[in-house]
Structure 1
Amino acid sequence: MTANTVSSNSMDGYPLTLTSIVERAERFHADRDVVSRRPSGAIARTTFGACAGRARRLAGALAQIGVRDGDPVATLLWNQSEHLELYFAVPAMGAVIHTLNPRLFPEELAYIVDDADDHVIVVDESLLDVFESFRADRDFTHVIVVTHTGEAPAGTLDYETLLAGAEPVEWPSLDENHAAAMCYTSGTTGRPKGVAYSHRALALHSLVAALPDQLAVSARDTVLPVVPMFHANAWGLPYAAALAGARLVLPGPRLDASSVLDLCADERVTMAAGVPTVWMEMLAALDAGPGKWNLSELDRLIVGGAAVPRSMFEGFDRHGLTVIQAWGMTETAPLGAVCRATARLDEGERDEQYGYRTRQGVASPFFDIRARDDNGELIAWDDAAIGELEVRGPWVAAAYHGGRGADSFTADGWFRTGDVVRIDPHGCIRICDRSKDLVKSGGEWISSVDLENQLMSHSAIAQAAVIAMPDDRWGERPLAVVVLRDGGQATADELRTHLAHEFARWQLPDRFEFVSAIPCTATGKFKKSELRNLFTTP
């Protein structure tokens, strides 16, 4: 008797494209709110249906001015409804949306625009000064301006006028591996590098982000991406919200604590997402004005971009707000891991619960992890061995735009993240440091992240960064740079004593420097390279 084998699948080869998400928002979630706060502070209200409809006209307008399949369309915009329309229109028409970070220096923006070969750009009128700072010698064929208070400047196109004169388009059929969007890395280890995301990558990322044990985006949510839409796809939240039918609240340029809290209260936000510096300021505002804001609907704060100290978890817990840590990178579109406490910890001890929540979490579905030590050997998942994290998956970059940074990718297809980690037996990641920020003293590693988190648990400390300093005897020694809270007082000896409860004597910083502010990158991370330059003795 001959075995009956299955030689091929019988499933539809349906392409995984962002077009399907745009059409779903238009068809099934047309009445769901999209709320934007303008630079003036005024609130503008529209819907997913209206944004999707305008996206069809926008695509027609872009085609009329010469945007073709595969062309980049740059944006210099805040989190605003027009940016969402571009998130929809540009990929769905077959072009590539390239978001620019207005907080970068002009020379960085000029380099990125040249590297991406941008010729069409959409600019919010409040960012025209930023645009002019790098426009010189750039060959822009069209500059489109989103106006709020007046007319578009001479020589530019007005966004609304452009849409009004265009016919809506039918979306073309696209290959799921077609490029859809491009973001650039922060450039902390050299020139920024471009990452081009495929439709397939972003469609799968949106599906996974919405899962219950990931970011858990549902139709019952009101989502506030404090993380900018010009940074790593706003962590995929605009697409996940459109897919699930969640209300979307876009905060514009006002990201101070009071403005964010006002939006959370007024719009009954259930989930907000941003970097730790935003939430630290928000926590200080809540501590200073308890009961000022009604945050009864706010279910969770998603925090990523840097390690979260235990003190921040404890602080928000006092206000009945839950912080959930996530990890990712521009190269991972960006979601890579989420730390949600497991069922076994529900009845666990307080210290055990916080010890787990301060980790970066378990790898997302379809996202593979491993780590290698200094000898190139894979480390054991025993929560003791440390190594550089390597990842792969359907939304992980396989190369940088233009072939740069090839040494970041292994021969067998994994991406080297530069993050030094421990992994516990259940696969939960703890980032010990960036590889370049570890302190190697007398042949032993000291984690700057662990020292920083313990310092920020001190009641007088608002921010802390630890850097490696050259040392003739030990090779390197840690130096701590701290910012005191308003009214807070602490001496170097007091802080050293505070750290001694958790760290061995040889791990303690030799120096403490008290500063008014720690320099940050455009994405809110501590700029340790600048601190090293500042405190290294010539």
Structure 2
Amino acid sequence: MLGQMQDYPLALPHVFHRAEQLFAHKPIVGVGAGGTVHRTDYRAWAERVRRAAAALDALGVSAEGRVGTFCWNTPAHLELYFAVPCSGRVLHTLNIRLFTEQLVYIANHAEDEVVFVDRSLFGQFWPHVDQMTTVRKVIVIDDGSDTAIPDDERITRYDALLDSVEPFPGRFEIADENQAAAMCYTSGTTGNPKGVVYSHRSTVLHSIAVLMADVAGLVERDVLLPVVPMFHANAWGTPYAAVFAGSSLVMPGPNMTPPAIAGILRDHHVTVTAGVPTIWMGVLPELSEGDLPDLRLLLCGGSAVPKSLSEGWRKKIGLPITQAWGMTETSPIATTGVLKSVHDGLSDDELADVRATAGTPSPLVDLRICDPDTGEVLPWDGETSGELQSAGPWIAASYYRNEDGGKQFTEDGWLKTGDVAVIDPYGYVKLVDRTKDLVKSGGEWISSVDLENEIMAMDGVAEAAVIAIPDEKWSERPLACVVPEEGVELTREAVLEHVATRVAKWQVPDDVVFIDEVPKTSTGKFSKKTLREKFAGHQA
């Protein structure tokens, strides 16, 4: 017996038309390259979405054609977030921080037909366009920059393009909810980046989950500042979710310095924001006691959040960081560290320990931990660690063009995340490490994340990363790479003494090196690969 509900596709046109009809009055604020503030609303935004969709027809972009963007977080980028998939094409956000070879590779691999580029990024993009074999047109978006634009027939100005067409009339229609809506590429820390293709269905379901109270709980009254880039994993799905809810939006553009972000949070009364730990490390010193009274949710992900960082925010403004975990392959939010009733009555220190986890699975997401060698499913006892695996309606089932030959997926279809985790009986996930970042010393595993948390809790430490270095006796031993706070002098002995009081003796790093900064990947994570290469021959 079948149900008798309407066969109504879960597709982004519904999200767009809902916002156009219900939230036309709600504000969207953009901060330009020079810090100038541009205010618009959903009504004007929706008309530009319709014009951008018509412009794709005028440009001759094929049905299901890939449309690249090389943009900051801006209102224009948000227009393309909807115009491209609602018109049946596939949005491909190009990561502006990729090396040239990787940028060219993914544009060619995805077969982008046109690319929309912010003017402030044009000088970074244009020198490589001749290597992008399928790109026919480059559309330049004026974001307040004065970057020179050459006279080339392949270049079109975005505003002139929109003015040249009539808005798309009527309703957008996507008949098959499984049709591709967008694609992102992994950051490619090993080998070439791999493409992850999101469907309309997966994007809508992920957006609904972000609106749930135990995830991010976005509502119409919220003011969202997406600091996490729209060129990386769809800014964690927050732009789609915000439009679904009708939240006010503040788009920071290229203004990504800590003082600029702190100012935007204050000036625009932001209630919800999201970004990686390195961002919030930089912003915290820019704040005063009791600052940001409107902020209710500070989401952080991309890598494990140091306990000291979350507690630093709590002590400064009264609001700790809420961790979320995911990856490009999980759309990306798969867990959120919202406290539950079981934690009522815990002390501040105990609550900080809970907040140091990645939280519990989002509704509709299944997680398990497995022995990476045998595949045995391991218990959620808060002690046993294993490879974290994921399944669900917004979890990738394969890579675009099956680039890895299925190696990242189990025989029963689960995604191997590459993270090592422990899960407690209430479902709270503690990330032990990335499988490639664990230190295997004498047959025993040492978590680099745990060591980093302990070192970063030390007074005078700004950042710390722990890597494995070869050792004749133990195979590998941990090396601590430490960035002192400005004006602070730290010693090797002081760091090791601090760690020795907090971990088992055999886990204490063999040595400490002091560096100016921890190198970062294209998505703002610590680049331990760079550190391993730099200190490959280091001797304690």
* Same fold flag (TM > 0.5): yes
One-letter code aligned to 2:55: A
**Aligned equivalents of 1:11, 1:397: Cα separation in 2:** 27
**Which residue of the other structure, out of 350, 354, 357, is the alignment partner of 2:355?**
357
**Aligned equivalents of 2:444, 2:350: Cα separation in 1:** 26
Residue 432 (structure 2) aligns with = 432
Distance 1:246 1:122, change over 3 A: same
Conserved 8 A contact 1:299-1:322: no
Shift of 1:310: 1.1
Conserved 8 A contact 1:463-1:518: yes
**Aligned equivalents of 1:298, 1:258: Cα separation in 2:** 17
Any idea what SS the aligned residue of 2:56 has? Answer: helix
Conserved 8 A contact 1:446-1:507: yes
Shift of 1:383: 1.2
One-letter code aligned to 1:163: L
**Which residue of the other structure, out of 39, 43, 52, is the alignment partner of 1:58?**
52
**Aligned equivalents of 1:138, 1:247: Cα separation in 2:** 37
Any idea what SS the aligned residue of 1:119 has? Answer: strand
Deviations 1:352-372 (A, max 9, x none): 111111000100000000111
**Aligned equivalents of 2:277, 2:145: Cα separation in 1:** 33
Shift of 1:270: 0.5
Conserved 8 A contact 2:297-2:321: yes
**Aligned equivalents of 1:330, 1:134: Cα separation in 2:** 25
**Aligned equivalents of 1:34, 1:176: Cα separation in 2:** 28
Residues 1:229 and 2:223 aligned together: no
Residue 138 (structure 1) aligns with = 132
Farther-moved stretch of structure 1 (485-494 vs 155-164): 485-494
Any idea what SS the aligned residue of 1:409 has? Answer: coil
Residue 193 (structure 1) aligns with = 194
Residue 209 (structure 2) aligns with = 208
Shift of 1:149: 5.7
One-letter code aligned to 1:267: H
Shift of 1:51: 1.2
**Aligned equivalents of 2:128, 2:463: Cα separation in 1:** 32
Any idea what SS the aligned residue of 1:218 has? Answer: coil
Conserved 8 A contact 2:61-2:113: no
**Which residue of the other structure, out of 57, 74, 77, is the alignment partner of 2:68?**
74
Residue 104 (structure 1) aligns with = 98
**Aligned equivalents of 2:191, 2:341: Cα separation in 1:** 42
Residues 1:386 and 2:385 aligned together: yes
**Aligned equivalents of 1:207, 1:482: Cα separation in 2:** 41
Conserved 8 A contact 2:34-2:145: no
Residue 375 (structure 2) aligns with = 376
Deviations 1:16-63 (A, max 9, x none): 001110111100011111111011110111112211111111111111
**Aligned equivalents of 1:85, 1:153: Cα separation in 2:** 25
Residue 314 (structure 2) aligns with = 317
Conserved 8 A contact 1:185-1:330: yes
Residue 167 (structure 1) aligns with = 166
Residue 348 (structure 1) aligns with = 346
Residue 122 (structure 1) aligns with = 116
TM-score between the two structures when normalised by the length of structure 2: 0.96
Unaligned runs of 5+ in 2: none
Shift of 1:379: 1.1
Conserved 8 A contact 1:94-1:174: no
Any idea what SS the aligned residue of 1:518 has? Answer: coil
One-letter code aligned to 1:318: K
Conserved 8 A contact 1:194-1:400: yes
Conserved 8 A contact 2:11-2:174: no
Shift of 1:152: 5.4
Task: Provide the identity percentage.
Answer: 47
Deviations 1:131-157 (A, max 9, x none): 123212323211111124679542211
Residues 1:467 and 2:464 aligned together: no
Residue 4 (structure 1) aligns with = none
Shift of 1:290: 4.4
Residue 294 (structure 2) aligns with = 297
Residue 274 (structure 1) aligns with = 275
One-letter code aligned to 1:63: D
Residue 328 (structure 1) aligns with = 326
Conserved 8 A contact 1:371-1:378: yes
**Aligned equivalents of 2:374, 2:475: Cα separation in 1:** 20
Conserved 8 A contact 2:311-2:320: no
**Aligned equivalents of 2:113, 2:121: Cα separation in 1:** 18
**Aligned equivalents of 2:22, 2:274: Cα separation in 1:** 25
One-letter code aligned to 2:264: L
**Aligned equivalents of 1:232, 1:157: Cα separation in 2:** 27
**Aligned equivalents of 1:236, 1:51: Cα separation in 2:** 19
Shift of 1:501: 2.0
Distance 1:465 1:149, change over 3 A: closer
One-letter code aligned to 2:151: A
Deviations 1:233-258 (A, max 9, x none): 01111111101111011001111111
Residue 511 (structure 2) aligns with = 511
Any idea what SS the aligned residue of 1:252 has? Answer: coil
Conserved 8 A contact 2:224-2:242: yes
Conserved 8 A contact 2:270-2:295: yes
Farther-moved stretch of structure 1 (412-421 vs 142-151): 142-151
Deviations 1:90-136 (A, max 9, x none): 00000001001111111110111111111201111111111123212
Conserved 8 A contact 2:225-2:252: yes
Any idea what SS the aligned residue of 1:352 has? Answer: helix
One-letter code aligned to 1:341: L
**Aligned equivalents of 2:214, 2:325: Cα separation in 1:** 14
Conserved 8 A contact 1:91-1:181: yes
Any idea what SS the aligned residue of 1:123 has? Answer: strand
Any idea what SS the aligned residue of 2:250 has? Answer: strand
